[in-house]
Amino acid sequence: MQNKGAIRVFAILLALVSLYQLIFTYQTRQEENKAKEIANGDPQVEINYLDSVANEPIYNFFGRKYTYKECKEKEINFGLDLKGGMNLILEVKVADILKALSNYNTDNTFNEALQIAEQKEKSSSEDFITLFYKAFSELDSEARLAAIFNTVELKGKIDYNTSNEEVLKVIRAESQSAIDNAFNILRTRIDRFGVTQPNIQKLEKAGRVLVELPGIKDPQRVRKLLQGTASLEFWETYEITELVSNLIAANSKVIEIEKAKEELNKTEEGTQAAAALETAAEKDGAEGLLSAIESDSTKVDSLAMQSQKSLFSVLQPSQRQRGPLVGYALVQDTSKVNAYLQMDQIRALFPKNVRFLWGVKPLPQRELEDGTQSKQEIYELVAIKVTTHDGRAPLEGDVITNASKSVTPQGGYEVSMRMNAEGSNVWARLTKANIGKSIAVVLDGYVYSYPNVNSEIPNGSSSISGDFDAKEAEDLANILKSGKLPAPARIVEDTVVGPSLGQEAVNSGLSSFAWAFLVVLAYMIFYYGFKAGAVSDIALLANMFFILGVLASFGAVLTLPGIAGIVLTIGMSVDANVLIYERIREELGSGKGVKLAVTDGYKNAFSAIIDSNVTTFLTGLILFMFGTGPIKGFATTLMIGIATSFFSAIFITRLIFERMLNKDTDIKFGNSLTLGFMKNTKVKFLEKRNLFYIISGVVILFGIGSLATQGLKSGIDFSGGRTYVVRFQEDVSATDIQKSLADEFEGAHVEVKTFGGDNQVRVATNYMVDESGEDVDNVIEHKLYNGLKSYVASDASFDDFVNDYRMSSQKVGPTIATDIKTKAYYSIAFSLLVIFLYILIRFRNWEYGLGALMALVHDVLVVLGIFSLLYKVVPFSLEIDQAFIAAILTVIGYSINDTVVVFDRIREYLGLHPKRDRNAVVDSALNSTISRTVNTSLTTFVVLLVIFLFGGETIQGFVFALLIGVVVGTYSSLFIATPIAFTVIDTRAKRKAKK
């Protein structure tokens, strides 16, 4: 083997990089275990501890110190199906944006075109604005868009003479700007949920955003906050000098109250009476509480507690001489500050029209006034002045017509904005009345900026300056622009996984992984002997280490399908070793020595390994391109596993063998039980081809008959709707539950099926699937609760039901279901085309490509037919959804893997024996691959069977499809692909001979 030194260096570097990446996961787990010990079962204490160490160094790598937060960003991230949480896809509808841009024009042609575009969008790959314009033109070829969009807000961009093409450019740009604004607003709102490792990203379809919130406790609150329209406001502010005395008085009052509480808790009697005295404090203030304790003879002076329990212990007062900044607080102390400031006796110490709001983002450390170098996140508290009778802001964001980032003469950044006529008048009065003071820019109740007013601004054009960097200025400009387009984000896909179900998924996934791994390790040693088997096992261990390291390096999310992808990779990764070992056996059988047999075995197996890995990798790539969510995770792990297993099987094993052979180690590649396995078989593959055609034809006809009569069970991924997994304390009847829910869901389709154990069911319904209001999910969950009341504890409230019984939920809107279905069709068709072209190029023979393509179609039809025949019978889900499409594509990849190896051997044999009878040579080549094909398929089948048994009910249907696919793919690669290819070759030869 050439370049051994370079291969060793690469292997060492890859191992070091993997180790480096995995250390971060180890360090975060150590810190989280420490947090659990400290919390002793209290989740809030655990969260507070992790917040407190977020910016503290926990790992030192050669002088580079990494904080817990930095380690967390580099660790292997578990998906929501493994740790519980909420997964959402939100959509800002372009139709809503166009309505707002037109100032809600009532033109019939305009509104009808919008409706037509919304209908066509469900089944079209074109963007919404293109569909809208086509419908608009078809309804009235003379209609002009300028008449619709010539509004005050778009003045200067569109007038009555603007052409339709130019208007389209403007509304496209404005729509994209509105979508960007919505994304920024969603990102800001998500940052305030306080979850660890939230994920938000734009999807390829305009207006769609993916949001993942692990560990979320209140899904209904999340839905409400994320779907609300942005509220942008401009407020007058208090000067800090006006509130200093009030703050000091408030601090003293808090000390009194805390002192009273502390003394109260010193006695058993006080502890028992705490609730009553708290009520007295609320009614009569701190004085009432203090006087109630005066008679307590066991009162102890607790002045020492003042420094720990006061307003200023959690809120550091501002030292500025001007401006509305009240003070600073650590992120974990903000709730305590809020609690103090909301107490009636504290509020009474401040002016009635003062309101305290927090800054939207943590304060950079460089801005701390007292030199504090705390590494924890610190937020500003700003004093807002309410000057209107109704308590609303004097100016709101709907008056802004444009905002943009600009560069100052000093090289810094500021934000320029323009207002409409109404806003300009109010802005002029507001700035004139606040010269020398600040005006706060507030979005969703959080302060983004509080610029100082230097002079009256009469024309509505002004700039906001501050210590902005380019990104901060851009974000603020987008926030200011968001006020003019009230287009709410609507949830089109919604998945909630309870933490207990997530933990069960982790346990089942890891157990399936461990068992499958052990089975493969043991099998390789049994079949190929201790030494040769141990070498392949070392490569397998190295492969797993590399996969996890690369996953961490890429920041990939590990999901349950991802674990299935890794476990499947284990089964498929032995394929390369099996190919090599079988070739070495053949070389040894021809009389060669061990060293030469090993060299020739690797050389002769290389072509087949390359072909089989490339075709499977292409399938994974297509799956990654067209899949979403967990399916991407499966594809990612599959592709990474193929790459790392290729390196491990080809290069690491070769290095080990060469070292062993240099030391004259006696190596056997089998034993008395396995050396003769399936050798000297003489199956007449081409002679019996018609028999195989009949067998396959009968199976496919049965499947087609079932597809025509009872069809397939579509999952909500493809049909739209909602599903809930509900677990009860005792076994229940799915039929009885379905009857209970039928009336509650008012005639809508409801399906209930036992899911896993007899005490757990899966409820699917299309009730209100087309509704998108904020409260729809809450309404449906209440109906679910009402329908299942008789099956849960008598004292279980709705909240108890959601937290203790409803294990997970999923919603897919009809629009996104159509998109998923379309992508699924494309992915299957594209994968078949790509594989056909690859084989055509690789083997320079279109008949081979046709044979492989027909074998793949055969495999897909058989799997579909079996799913149609069995989905009403088996006790697990056989729905057609994204996971099923992933399974089909994996089956395609696996089947083509086998087929390519077979074709490669046929090509080799035909080259070696050009003068022998071709059919006999082909049969001989096929017989020579049986041992390898059965060996690999058996290994993969056993691995999948372990996953099926131990991997949990959520992926049983997915794995069942793979189990069928392995059997059918093995059969088709031997009995369908080659016979079809040579049937076509024979037919062409006969026609040519006749001519």
pLDDT in tens, 678-732: 777 888 888 889 999 999 999 999 999 998 998 888 776 677 778 888 888 888 8
Q: How confident is the model at residue 132, as a pLDDT?
A: 92
Q: What's the CATH number where 768 sits?
A: 3.30.70
Q: Does residue 947 surpass a pLDDT of 80?
A: no
CA atoms within 13 A on the CB side of 484: 26
Q: Report how far residue 986's alpha carbon sits from residue 975's, in angstroms, rounded to the nearest whole number.
A: 16
Which residues does residue 917 pair with via DSSP β-bridges, in sequence order?
Answer: none
Assess contact for 834 and 622: CB atoms under 8 A.
yes
Q: How confident is the model at residue 300, as a pLDDT?
A: 29
CA angle centred on 598, ends 595 and 602, rounded to 5°:
145
On whether both 357 and 402 belong to a single domain, the answer is no
In this predicted model, what pLDDT tens digit does every residue of 316-364 receive, in sequence order?
A: 898 888 889 999 998 778 888 998 999 999 999 999 999 999 988 777 6
3-class SS string, 434-492: CCCCEEEEEECCEEEECCECCCCCCCCCEEEEEEECHHHHHHHHHHHHHCCCCCCEEEE
User: Pairing relation of β-strands 316-317 and 208-214?
Assistant: unpaired
**Tokens standing for residue 940:** 């993969």
Q: How confident is the model at residue 815, as a pLDDT?
A: 61
Q: How confident is the model at residue 376, as a pLDDT?
A: 66
Q: How many CB atoms lie within 10 A of CB 981?
A: 27
More confident residue, 774 or 542: 542
Assess contact for 382 and 326: CB atoms under 8 A.
yes
Q: How confident is the model at residue 365, as a pLDDT?
A: 52
On whether both 460 and 368 belong to a single domain, the answer is no
84 domain residue, yes or no = no
Q: Report how far residue 817's alpha carbon sits from residue 814's, in angstroms, rounded to the nearest whole number.
A: 5
On whether both 921 and 970 belong to a single domain, the answer is yes
SS3 content of the chain, % helix, strand, coil (to 5): 60, 15, 25
At 489, the pLDDT band (50, 70, 90 cuts) reads confident
232 domain residue, yes or no = no
On whether both 518 and 625 belong to a single domain, the answer is yes
H helices present in 844-977, as ranges: 846-870, 882-912, 918-950, 956-972
Question: What SS3 state is found at 407?
Answer: strand
User: Among the listed ranges 459-473, 558-572, 722-736, 877-891, which one has the minimum average pLDDT value?
Assistant: 558-572
Q: Does residue 294 surpass a pLDDT of 60?
A: no
Q: What's the CATH number where 400 sits?
A: 3.30.1360.200
Question: Which of 339, 374, 393 finishes a domain?
Answer: 393
- For residue 38, what are the domain limits? 4-75
716 domain residue, yes or no = no
On whether both 790 and 913 belong to a single domain, the answer is no
Residues with Cβ within 8 Å of residue 883, at least 6 apart in sequence: 561, 630, 631, 955, 957, 958
Element spanning 235, H or E: strand 232-237
Assess contact for 347 and 341: CB atoms under 8 A.
yes
**Tokens standing for residue 533:** 């088997």
| Residue indicated by tokens 């939920």 | 809
In this predicted model, what pLDDT tens digit does every residue of 205-216 receive, in sequence order?
A: 767 787 877 767
In this predicted model, what pLDDT tens digit does every residue of 86-123 receive, in sequence order?
A: 777 788 888 888 888 888 888 999 999 999 998 887 76
Q: How confident is the model at residue 327, as a pLDDT?
A: 92
Q: How confident is the model at residue 702, as a pLDDT?
A: 93
Q: How confident is the model at residue 693, as a pLDDT?
A: 92
On whether both 736 and 874 belong to a single domain, the answer is no
On whether both 530 and 639 belong to a single domain, the answer is yes
In this predicted model, what pLDDT tens digit does every residue of 258-291 receive, in sequence order?
A: 888 777 666 544 445 445 544 544 444 444 433 4
120 domain residue, yes or no = yes
User: Among the listed ranges 152-156, 187-191, 683-687, which one has the minimum average pLDDT value?
Assistant: 187-191
Distances (CA, A) of 316 to 257, 343, 358, 581, 766: 19, 19, 14, 71, 53
On whether both 574 and 425 belong to a single domain, the answer is no
| Residue indicated by tokens 């808790």 | 265
Assess contact for 144 and 158: CB atoms under 8 A.
no
At 900, the pLDDT band (50, 70, 90 cuts) reads confident
Q: Total structural domains in the chain?
A: 6
On whether both 304 and 272 belong to a single domain, the answer is yes
Query: How many residues make up the chain in this entry?
Result: 995
Q: How confident is the model at residue 283, as a pLDDT?
A: 45
210 domain residue, yes or no = no
H helices present in 768-845, as ranges: 776-788, 798-800, 814-843
Q: How confident is the model at residue 296, as a pLDDT?
A: 39
Q: How confident is the model at residue 93, as a pLDDT?
A: 82
On whether both 473 and 523 belong to a single domain, the answer is no
Q: How confident is the model at residue 113, as a pLDDT?
A: 93
Q: How confident is the model at residue 304, as a pLDDT?
A: 31
User: Pairing relation of β-strands 489-497 and 64-67?
Assistant: unpaired
Closest listed residue to residue 810, CA positions, set 781, 838, 844, 839? 781
On whether both 842 and 756 belong to a single domain, the answer is no
Question: What SS3 state is found at 307?
Answer: coil
Question: Which of 341, 365, 393 finishes a domain?
Answer: 393
Which residues does residue 385 pair with via DSSP β-bridges, in sequence order?
Answer: 236, 354
Question: Using CB atoms within 10 A of its CB, is residue 524 exposed (0-12), middle (13-18) or buried (19+)?
Answer: buried
In this predicted model, what pLDDT tens digit does every residue of 555-586 receive, in sequence order?
A: 777 776 677 677 667 766 777 888 888 889 88
At 629, the pLDDT band (50, 70, 90 cuts) reads low
Which residues does residue 316 pair with via DSSP β-bridges, in sequence order?
Answer: 328
**Tokens standing for residue 137:** 């033109």
Closest listed residue to residue 886, CA positions, set 532, 628, 683, 521? 628
Q: How confident is the model at residue 299, as a pLDDT?
A: 33
The predicted model gives 9-29 an average pLDDT of: 88
Assess contact for 552 and 76: CB atoms under 8 A.
yes
Q: How confident is the model at residue 569, as a pLDDT?
A: 74
Count of H helices and E strands in the chain?
A: 35, 23
Which of the given ranges, 125-139, 402-416, 556-570, has the highest pLDDT on average?
125-139
The predicted model gives 191-213 an average pLDDT of: 71
Residues with Cβ within 8 Å of residue 607, at least 6 apart in sequence: 904
Q: How confident is the model at residue 364, as a pLDDT?
A: 63
Question: Which of 784, 812, 840 finishes a domain?
Answer: 812
On whether both 479 and 508 belong to a single domain, the answer is no
Q: Does residue 485 surpass a pLDDT of 50?
A: no
User: Among the listed ranges 120-134, 333-347, 590-604, which one has the minimum average pLDDT value?
Assistant: 120-134
229 domain residue, yes or no = no
More confident residue, 195 or 75: 75
Q: Does residue 370 surpass a pLDDT of 70?
A: no
Which of the given ranges, 259-263, 549-553, 595-599, has the highest pLDDT on average?
595-599
Mean confidence (pLDDT) of the chain: 80
At 902, the pLDDT band (50, 70, 90 cuts) reads confident
Residues 526-564 as b/e (b if ≥16 CB within 10 A, e otherwise) read: ebbbebbbebbbebbebbbbbbbbbbbbeebbbbbbbbb
Residues with Cβ within 8 Å of residue 71, at least 6 apart in sequence: 24, 27, 28, 31, 58, 59
Q: How confident is the model at residue 466, as a pLDDT?
A: 65
% pLDDT > 70, the chain: 85
User: Among the listed ranges 524-533, 708-717, 814-823, 835-844, which one has the minimum average pLDDT value?
Assistant: 814-823
20 domain residue, yes or no = yes
User: Among the listed ranges 127-141, 380-394, 581-595, 806-820, which one has the minimum average pLDDT value?
Assistant: 806-820
